[in-house]
Structure 1
Amino acid sequence: MILIGLTGSLATGKSTVSTILHSPPYSLPIIDADLLAHRALLPGTLGYSRILSYFGPSTPDLLQPLSPDAPLGTGPNATRPINRAALGRRVFGSSDAKRRDREKLNSIVHPLVRMAMVRELVWYFVRGWWAVVLDVPLLYESGLDIFVSVVLMVGVSSPAVQMARLRERDQGLSKGEAEDRVGSQMGVEEKVGRTRARGERRGKVVMNDGDRGDLEREVGRVIGEVGGEGGGRAWGWWLMGSPVGVVGVSGWEVWSGWRARKRWEEERRRERARL
């Protein structure tokens, strides 16, 4: 089974690519990290209680309003959903305090999301899928890039286009809030560089500067290359009956991803040394 890591910065078109891959003629299963993160923070979950415990005392609007008179976490407020906009204002930004809060949030959410990802991956593997798409906006930031067979990075050439698309999509965001959200993630240029450093077979870049038709053609080209180069269907059936093969191939993929990351880091060090 080929694991395709789909990533991209905010408002670059990653969700559109995910929709294309999930629709005919590809009809690939999607493991959506954002959806799993949302589920991990639903009322009654471990993630919900940890978020409430850490951020609640210092974030008055952390929960969506239902019964303002009741204390947090009690009575009807025990099932109030998290106010994601308020949580976003708390963690997005470049200050040291916001960075620490973002790291704390990630330390709560990421392990829960990874466990959910593993469960879904096992399910799709035993059902014989030739490829699965792991849709993770923070693929590189979370370190999950070393576990995927192929990274499919969706980007745009102009930061101005990215900002315009973000504010059009999330119309409640101010210019400053949009800049904070974009600045809190790895930049498009760096993600493109890291993807290309993986090599032509393991790193695919799609620039979403045109219309939907252009994007669909680019996605078709990439999936054609992945299917032709990876041999996922044949490998998948062989591995189904070979636990040792599963371990060996998985180890090779992780080692190859780690080597690609080190290659990129070395290139960055050389670039900085020349400045």
Structure 2
Amino acid sequence: MAASGDKHIKRLGLTGSIGAGKSTVTALLRERGLTVLDADEQARLVTQEPQTLEQIGAAFPGTVQGGVLNRAALAAAAFSDPERTRTLNAITHPRVRARMAALEAQGVAQGAAWIVQDIPLLFETGQEKNFDAVLLVDAPLGIRLQRVMQRSGLSREEILARDARQMPAAEKRKKATITLENGGDLEELAAQVDAALNKLGIRLS
């Protein structure tokens, strides 16, 4: 638990390009007793809220029917150009951040000394300044493409288009505190996670 009177919670950001393996790293961190908050999970919950759905439906007609969001239709509409993506982000991001802040406060109340926030677009949204350190998960493009195609059914072209909307991996590497190379097996990745936590001085319970 955090020491009594220690009011500064330390924040560890976790990010990575599509198919890099963030979910695997999240599982490893949780196994080690760390509190990990998932921005994607909170975004899914946000898009189930009536007020959010109303705004999305108004901005992207036809994507909300009977109070239910058609995620495929929204993706097609919102990611067709940067301006429409910004419109969607303006609706959802503030709500996601509010949820993440509330969950962080809950973690602090429970005695967590470090809180990990898993945020896919951490660098793209300029949030690195909010963290004491940032872990980047990366893997060769070919491996990332294979992983996403196997799990999602998306085509190579669709995945490449989504990847192109993110900051290039080389630029993310320059900004990250530590980069985890996830091109090998789970045991190798776990060893890198342990080394990273040790380097950052994160003591596990």
Q: TM-score, normalised by structure 1?
A: 0.68
Greater fraction of residues in helix:
1
Q: Which runs of 5+ in 2 are unaligned?
A: 1-8
Identify the match of residue 52 of structure 1 among 54, 57, 61.
Answer: 57
Aligned residue for 1:99? 82
- State the match for 1:185 in structure 2: 166
**Retained in 2: the 8 A contact 1:131–1:232?**
no
Which of 36, 39, 45 aligns to 1:39? It is 45
Aligned-partner Cα distance in 2 for 1:178–1:133: 26
Large movers: runs of 4+ above 6 Å:
none
Following superposition, the deviation at residue 47 of structure 1 comes to 1.5
Shift, 1:232, TM fit: 10
- Name the counterpart of 2:91: 108
| 1:7 and 2:15 are equivalent in the alignment | yes
Which SS does the other structure have where 1:185 is aligned? coil
1:227 Cα deviation (Å)?
Answer: 2.4
**3-state DSSP of counterpart to 1:182:** helix
TM norm structure 2: 0.90
**Mapped contact 1:92–1:180 kept (Cα < 8 A):** no
Task: Identify the residue that residue 272 of structure 1 maps to in structure 2.
Answer: none
Identity of aligned residues (%): 30
After TM superposition, give the deviation of residue 125 of structure 1 in Å: 1.4
Alignment map for 1:166-181 (pairs within 5 Å):
166-171=148-153, 173-181=154-162
More strand, by proportion: 2
The aligned residue for residue 200 of structure 1 is none
User: In 1, are the aligned partners of 2:33 and 2:204 still within 8 Å (CA)?
Assistant: no
Q: Choose between structure 1 and 2 for higher RCO, CA contacts under 8 A separated by at least 6 residues.
A: 2
For residue 126 of structure 1, report the CA deviation from its aligned partner: 2.3
> 119, 128, 131: which one pairs with 1:136?
119
Cα distance, 1:110 vs. partner?
0.7
RMSD, matched Cα? 1.8
Partners in 2 of 1:184 and 1:92 — Cα distance?
Answer: 9
Does 2:36 match 1:30? yes
Q: Which amino acid aligns with 1:140?
A: F
User: Number of residue pairs matched?
Assistant: 197
